[in-house]
Amino acid sequence: MADTVTTDILIVGAGPVGLFGAYTAGFRGLSTVLVDSLPQCGGQIAALYPEKEIRDIAGVPAARGREVVAALKTQADAFEPTYLLGREALTMEHSAEGRPVVTLSDGTIVDAGAVIVTAGIGTFTPRTLPAGEEFLDRGLSYFVPNPDEHTGRDVLVVGGGDSAVDWALALRKIARSVTVVHRRSTFRAHAASVQELKTSDVEIITDAQVAALHGNGTISQAHVRVDGQDDHRVLEVDSVIAALGFISNLGPLTKWGMELDRRTIVVDTRMQTNVPRVYAAGDITSYTGKVRLMSVGFGEVATAVNNAAVVLDPELTLFPGHSTDG
């Protein structure tokens, strides 16, 4: 027989925004369950960018992703939320009392007063590098969970977005050499980061693509095709990091009846969806003027929690008071 867990707030997505939501709910005296398909808290940051410096949190000039996640979890744990990790939220229906009832992929049933979806970009899979896919995990990787593995190596980073530029800048401090190959002449990454890259010792090859990877067991060479040149350029490399972006998918959430805008969930000013007692916050949401920053997500999930609180108990006030109030 499936286990049933009863809670005031179910948060779907245990990334930074979800963790702050658990703290906010706990501060209001609400019990909280966090569900995530990943086996650990932290969402995309913990899975893909644990060593990346996060710089868009007020009052925190810079902190590594894993440090931000650890601090947010410590903050949430003060109110003892329940973590149901490594399982996916599949279906949602309402009980006779109007409470959302969510079934997880392991059969667990969560009976909640309200649901807040903080699933980031949903499930994500990396865009593959067509050349040399057979070298995956043998020199080719799509993210860098442990930068130290690239110490003293000749590293090739493929891509022109924030991840590619961030990893190139981070690894240049420990690698023997770092080269960036980008298929365009301009970069999509943040302008300040691109400027830092251009003034660093990282070699930049633009208007180019990786045509093939070669090696005996592990990568030793990358053949790069540069626009306008007949011959491939051959690079001696030990590691290739293909930071080409990710394909996101909302998965079962698309069947919950929520209004969607492409791959995002439409919410109102209360962060409520069109489904009763179901809210959303963070990158997964969509509304006019939306800015996708982690700091914005923190405010959104606080708004969602406090609006859910007064739905669960109409005698509560929307404003929760300040954490410094005696």
Ligand-binding annotation for 175, yes or no, is no
d(CA 163, CA 159): 8
Q: Tell me the three state secondary structure of residue 211.
A: strand
Ligand-binding annotation for 36, yes or no, is yes
- How many C-beta atoms surround the C-beta of residue 201 within 10 A? 7
Ligand-binding annotation for 3, yes or no, is no
Ligand-binding annotation for 124, yes or no, is yes
Residue with tokens 């043998």: 138
- How many C-beta atoms surround the C-beta of residue 127 within 10 A? 13
Name 171's Cβ contacts closer than 8 Å, sequence gap at least 6.
144, 147, 150, 155, 157, 178, 241
Per residue, what are the HEC states of 117-153? ECCCCCEEEECCCCCCHHHECCCEECCCCCHHHHCCC
DSSP label of 59: T
Q: Which helix (H) or strand (E) holds 285?
A: strand 285-286
CA distances in angstroms from 52 to 41, 55, 232, listed in the order given: 16, 10, 32
Backbone torsion region of residue 314, taken as left when φ is above 0, otherwise alpha when ψ lies between -120 and 50, otherwise beta: alpha
CA geometry: angle 146, 152, 157, nearest 5 deg: 65
Q: Which helix (H) or strand (E) holds 311?
A: helix 294-312
Ligand-binding annotation for 49, yes or no, is yes
Strand partners, 58: none
> Token pair of 233, please?
């350029």
Ligand-binding annotation for 32, yes or no, is no
Burial of 216 (0-12, 13-18, 19+ CB in 10 A): exposed
Ligand-binding annotation for 206, yes or no, is no
Known binding-site positions for FAD:
36, 44, 49, 89, 124, 283, 324
Known binding-site positions:
36, 44, 49, 89, 124, 283, 324
